[in-house]
Structure 1
């Protein structure tokens, strides 16, 4: 309910009570005149009017209503005006003073209890004095109790609002924290994607350029083919980077793993492939993880592997997972430096763990009579049924 509605309601109630006081007072005046109960008849009407006024304004202006009650009591003491039954309406003024008045008004209302009882005692006798004291005291205490109850309710509502604001703030901060974490995860994913694409392309380009150095100067066709491969890889890398930056790259298909291998082969790097099990379509996110993982494995093989022996790629399809294993020969002294916490290995591991996969890195020492050791990177990508 609005403030204006409450104020209007209080005024209406006050006026209605005042009308009842006036009606009751007039009835008592008529009866008193008829029975000759009031020796000083001229003082009766002011008592009714002041009582009605105090009752009318008491709900919205408790201090004014209480002051009018005091003036009325003083008037009756000075003039000897009779005490009327309608003056019990002053109990409503005491109730309002204790309920909604200022601290001074509350105290003045408390003092009004014995004063009203004294006036009733002097005018009507001991029994009436006790009745007025009880009535006024009960009304004042009731108003005070409601006042304290309202304060507790107001404090409770204020605490509830503060708690709701704190909860809303915490929820907003939590949402912001989740958004920041998501943005950071997306940034890390973007960095891994760019690293994988650019690193792989540069590795292939470097391998192609190095192989071109060993071509005879007279073999123009081979040189042109090598340059064409470099240009093709560069264009493909540029396209992949654009797809990563615009988030428009679709999930890689299972068949693109072989396309990736053929691209590396075309650069002059020897690769043997072994397929185990039946290849099948992967969910887009899993296909992308498998593609990027194999891409990074081949990049490491090109960068760190020995060109004297081919790398071996094994794609093993089982019921639950796709296992990708790349074994590339390395010099015995270089094998120990490849299993550290480089950005590429960390990126592969994080990418695989994000979909429930795993990465295993190991070194196989050189066999008897062999000049190279082996660096083995094995990734397990879970296979889930595609949701069509």
Structure 2
């Protein structure tokens, strides 16, 4: 029998799950041998008693049947043993030597039987000895004939010590198979348990590998999303500056101003190309190693190159930010200025404010750096400033910050104020 994949065979699967005639072949051969021996013995007894005991053939048939079922149906085989024992007690029929083959039934009950069958087979062992050698006082036909050489009859009773000796020998012969079957049952269960444990470990290892694979895939996707977001921020900011300079250059008659506009376009494009290369070549921020305040100032300088008026203010004392917080602050501020340039009115200034938290002792509570950018909408009711807000919001939420967007009606028009709250641990 080949077990199904994912199924661990148990002692109940073997032999009950097998089909066809081949699995029964060993038991059939054993039953046939016992039947031949039993019929031969019964024929000898029948001839020596002048046909006085014909029940020996039935006894041989019962023994052969019990031996044939000891593996497939140990409970039923044990039932035949009890029935045969009851027959001996009631009829005082002599016990045949071939009935010692019933020890295979005791072995089968301990090896393959259910718990109740195991207990019953254990109780059957001493009862079988009592029936065979105590109640019948040694009337085992073939064995008595072998020991005494006498014909059964008036001399059938042996000396007083014979039943005791035969009882001891019989106890050893009959009792030995039962513990052997129990040991093999325990070894089988241990083997099954080990196989189940190995299968469980293999399943757990497979699940762990799948989990690690899923984690790696999620990490790669997160890196791809972060890379795409960084490239979008860099390219979007530079293109906004370049577009603003290109549009203003169409109306410049002064050669000097036109050259400065072209120079700004070239500088912005070169800086953008360098930033994109840095983003694609490393996971670190392009400006790592510089002061965080200087990095943010560079963004303001680049935004002013677009021709927009940028009113910048900084309150509090700048401080170094944690690496992740510094990267988020830089990218979010870049996106805020880009939106303001793209969607803000050119005749109205863009205000950019940075509020640094006051210094606290090391180990203090987490405070926030507040970055605020305000611009006037290019057209009444224009919501274009809301583009890119989802990306900024995700960046901030990833480090415990948040984004606030306000739309206000003013005399000059509609203003949009975007405020980013970047967590800063005091004493960082």
Tell whether the structures are fold-level matches, with TM greater than 0.5.
yes
> What TM-score, normalized by structure 1, do the two folds share?
0.66
1:141 to 162, 175, 178: 178
Instruction: Report if the CA contact (8 A) 2:343-2:384 is conserved.
Output: no
Matched residue SS, 1:338: helix
| Map of 1:235 onto structure 2 | 270
Instruction: Report if the CA contact (8 A) 1:257-1:294 is conserved.
Output: yes
| Map of 1:348 onto structure 2 | 392
Rate the CA distance shift 1:112–1:120 in 2: closer, same or farther, 3 A. Answer: farther
| Map of 1:308 onto structure 2 | 347
Cα distance in 1 between the residues matched to 2:343 and 2:144: 113
In the TM superposition, what are the counterparts of 1:182-331 in structure 2 within 5 Å?
A: 182-216=219-253, 219-247=254-282, 248=284, 249-251=286-288, 253-254=291-292, 255-319=294-358, 320-331=367-378
Instruction: Tell me the alpha carbon deviations over residues 78-109 of structure 1, each in whole angstroms, 9 at most, x when there is no partner.
Output: xxxxxxxxxxxxxxxxxxxxxxxx969x9968
> What TM-score, normalized by structure 2, do the two folds share?
0.61
Q: Please state how far the C-alpha of 1:385 moved relative to its aligned partner.
A: 5.7
1:158 to 176, 195, 199: 195
Cα distance in 1 between the residues matched to 2:236 and 2:194: 61
Matched residue SS, 2:399: coil
| Map of 1:97 onto structure 2 | none
Cα distance in 2 between the residues matched to 1:227 and 1:345: 30
In the TM superposition, what are the counterparts of 1:50-89 in structure 2 within 5 Å?
A: none
Instruction: Tell me the alpha carbon deviations over residues 225-259 of structure 1, each in whole angstroms, 9 at most, x when there is no partner.
Output: 11111011001000000000011535363221011
| Map of 1:110 onto structure 2 | 103
1:375 to 416, 422, 427: 416
Cα distance in 1 between the residues matched to 2:333 and 2:385: 16
Instruction: Report if the CA contact (8 A) 1:335-1:375 is conserved.
Output: no
Q: Please state how far the C-alpha of 1:111 moved relative to its aligned partner.
A: 4.9
Matched residue SS, 2:383: helix
Matched residue SS, 1:184: helix
Q: How large is the Cα RMSD of the aligned pairs?
A: 3.0
| Map of 1:363 onto structure 2 | 407
Moved more, 278-287 or 119-128: 119-128
Cα distance in 1 between the residues matched to 2:207 and 2:228: 31
Instruction: Report if the CA contact (8 A) 2:287-2:295 is conserved.
Output: no
Rate the CA distance shift 1:385–1:187 in 2: closer, same or farther, 3 A. Answer: farther
Matched residue SS, 1:214: coil
Q: Please state how far the C-alpha of 1:352 moved relative to its aligned partner.
A: 0.9
Instruction: Report if the CA contact (8 A) 1:331-1:371 is conserved.
Output: no
| Map of 1:338 onto structure 2 | 385
Instruction: Report if the CA contact (8 A) 1:282-1:383 is conserved.
Output: yes
Instruction: Tell me the alpha carbon deviations over residues 182-232 of structure 1, each in whole angstroms, 9 at most, x when there is no partner.
Output: 11111110011001000001001001111112211xx21111111111011
Q: Choose between structure 1 and 2: higher helix proportion.
A: 1
Q: Please state how far the C-alpha of 1:377 moved relative to its aligned partner.
A: 0.6
Instruction: Report if the CA contact (8 A) 1:361-1:377 is conserved.
Output: yes
Q: Please state how far the C-alpha of 1:337 moved relative to its aligned partner.
A: 4.2
Moved more, 124-133 or 355-364: 124-133
Cα distance in 1 between the residues matched to 2:105 and 2:348: 111
Matched residue SS, 2:260: helix
Q: Please state how far the C-alpha of 1:128 moved relative to its aligned partner.
A: 2.5
Structure 2 regions of 5+ residues with no counterpart?
1-29, 42-69, 78-100, 107-127, 134-139, 148-157, 359-366
Cα distance in 2 between the residues matched to 1:313 and 1:142: 90
Instruction: Report if the CA contact (8 A) 1:121-1:128 is conserved.
Output: no
Q: Please state how far the C-alpha of 1:364 moved relative to its aligned partner.
A: 1.0
Q: How many residues align?
A: 283
| Map of 1:181 onto structure 2 | 218
Q: Please state how far the C-alpha of 1:335 moved relative to its aligned partner.
A: 3.6
Rate the CA distance shift 1:261–1:337 in 2: closer, same or farther, 3 A. Answer: closer
Q: Please state how far the C-alpha of 1:120 moved relative to its aligned partner.
A: 5.3
